Amino acid sequence: MARSGSMAVPALLLLGVLAFLSSRSPAFVPPPSIRGPKSWCSKVAASSAVPALLAAAPAAFADGIADASKKFSDAAYPVAQKFNWGGSSEFAKYIAEESAKNPKGTAKAVEKLLEAGLTMDPKLVYAAVQAHDKALDSAVSNPNLVASKADFAAVNEALARMIASADKQKFFYLLSAFPENKELQMKFLADNNMRDAEAAYGAFVGLTDAVRAASTDGAAAPVVAAASGGPIGDAAAKFSDATYPIMQKIDWGNTPLISKYIAGASATNPKMMAAAFDKTLEVGLSMDPKLVAAAVAAHAKAIEGAVGNPGLVASKADFAAVNEALARMIGSADPAKFKAILTAFPGNADLQMSLFAANNAGDAQAAYETFVALTNAVKR
C-alpha cells in the first residue's frame, strides 16, 4: 500500500506550501500585539528561503507596491543573508511540535489558509509560483539556502501583489491562526543586528500600506466548480471505498511518525528538501488552475469536517471528494514533471510504509489494486 500515498503527495505539498506562505512570508497587516521589528523581520527573511506555492506578478501596475517592495527587499536582504536557512532546525521543530501538540489548532489554521488562498487572483497566484520556483533555483546553490537578491526582491513583490488580491478579512485571520507563530518568529532572528532589524521593519510598514492601498479584496477570486463522474470519478470512488477503512484506523491528530519525518527530513537534508519543493512548484505550474482550485476547496471542506473528529479523520464523502479532485488535478499535470516528484522527497517511501505497516494485509492489497486502477484512469 506504500504507493497509495504518492497520489496524495502533490496536493499535500500544495497545501503545505500554502501554509508556508502564510506563516513564513510577510503578513501585510501587522497585528497590534507585535511590538518590535524582530518578529516581522523573521517573516521577511523566511519568504525567500522556504518555498511557498504562490508568488510573483506582471511588471506594470498602477500602484505603489513596486517601489515599496523594492525598499523592503533592500532593507531586509542583509537580514536574510545572515541566517543559515539550510542549517536551522527551528522551523522543522516548530512544524513537528505544533502539529503534534496542537493538531486541531494547526488543522484549523490550514483550513483558514486554504480559504484565503481561494480568494486570490489566480493569475497572481500562478505568477507567484514562478517567482518562488526561480528563487529556489538560486537558493539551492547557496550554502545557507539564501536566494539571490534579485530573486528575493521578485518574490517579495509577487507576494505583496498576491496578498493584495485576497479577501482582506480572510487574510487577516491568518495572522494569528498558527499556534505559537510569534514565538517562532522571535527565535529566528534573536541575534540579528537591531539597526538592520529596525530598517527592515520600517520598510515593511511602508509595504503594508502599499498593499492596503492596492487591495482588491478578493474581487478576482476564481469560480470553483468540482467535476465528477467518468472513468476518473468511477475509479476514485472505488479507491475511496477501499482505502477509507484504512484511513479511519490512523489517528491523524496523534501520529508521531509524520511529525518525526517533517522534522528529520528538513533538518538533516535541507537541500534535498528544497530541491523537492522546487520540483513540486514546477509540476504545480503545469496543472490546470481550475482543477487546482477545486482540489484546494475539497481539502478545505474536508478539514472543516475533520476537526470535529478526535482522530482528525474526514467524513467518507469528503475523503472521496478529495481523492477525485486530486486525481483530476494530477491528470492535468505534465507527466514527466509529476513523475519526478514521486521520489523527490527524502524518506517519503519509508514514511508511507511506516504509516500503513500495522494495517490488515488483505485491506492493504484491496486498496492497492483500486489505486492501480485509479492511476490507469488518470494515466499517471
Render pLDDT for 255-290 as a digit per residue (tens, 0 to 9).
Answer: 767 777 877 787 788 888 889 999 999 999 999 999
DSSP string, 143-182: TT-PPPHHHHHHHHHHHHHHHHTS-HHHHHHHTTTSTTHH
pLDDT reported for residue 269:
84
Q: Do the beta carbons of residue 90 and residue 188 sit within 8 Å?
A: yes
Q: Which of 199-208, 235-244, 255-264, 302-311 has the lowest mean pLDDT?
A: 255-264
Stretch 133-150: mean pLDDT:
92
62 has a pLDDT exceeding 70? no
Topology (CATH level 3) of domain 223-378: Peridinin-chlorophyll Protein, Chain M (1.40.10)
Residue 24, judged by CB atoms within 10 A of its CB (0-12, 13-18, 19+), counts as: buried
pTM: 0.80
Residue type for 207, please?
A: L
Residues near 49 by Cβ (< 8 Å), separated by ≥ 6? 80, 83, 85, 139, 145, 146, 147
Burial code (b: 16+ CB inside 10 Å, e: under 16) for 292-325 equals: bbbbbbbbbbbbbebbeeeebbbeeebbbbbbbb
Stretch 79-101: mean pLDDT:
76
C-alpha distances out from residue 206 to 64, 162, 301, Å: 10, 17, 36
Q: Which of 20-24, 137-141, 147-151, 363-367 has the highest mean pLDDT?
A: 147-151
pLDDT reported for residue 96:
73
pLDDT confidence tier of residue 205, bands split at 50, 70 and 90: very high
Alpha carbons 135 and 56: distance in angstroms, whole number: 11
Q: Tabulate helix, strand, coil % of the chain (nearest 5).
A: 70, 0, 30
Domain 15-214 has CATH 1.40.10.10: yes
379 has a pLDDT exceeding 80? yes
User: All 3 cell numbers of residue 261?
Assistant: 519525518
Q: Which of 41-55, 94-108, 109-123 has the lowest mean pLDDT?
A: 41-55
Max CA distance (Å), the chain: 63
Q: What is the mean pLDDT of the chain?
A: 81
Stretch 90-98: mean pLDDT:
74
* Residue ranges of domains in the chain: 15-214, 223-378
Alpha carbons 125 and 162: distance in angstroms, whole number: 6
Which region, left, alpha or beta, applies to residue 241 given φ > 0 means left and ψ of -120 to 50 means alpha?
alpha
Q: Which of 138-152, 158-172, 182-196, 216-230 has the lowest mean pLDDT?
A: 182-196
Domains 15-214 and 223-378 agree in fold:
yes
Q: Which of 5-14, 72-81, 322-331 has the highest mean pLDDT?
A: 322-331
pLDDT reported for residue 88:
63
pLDDT reported for residue 261:
81
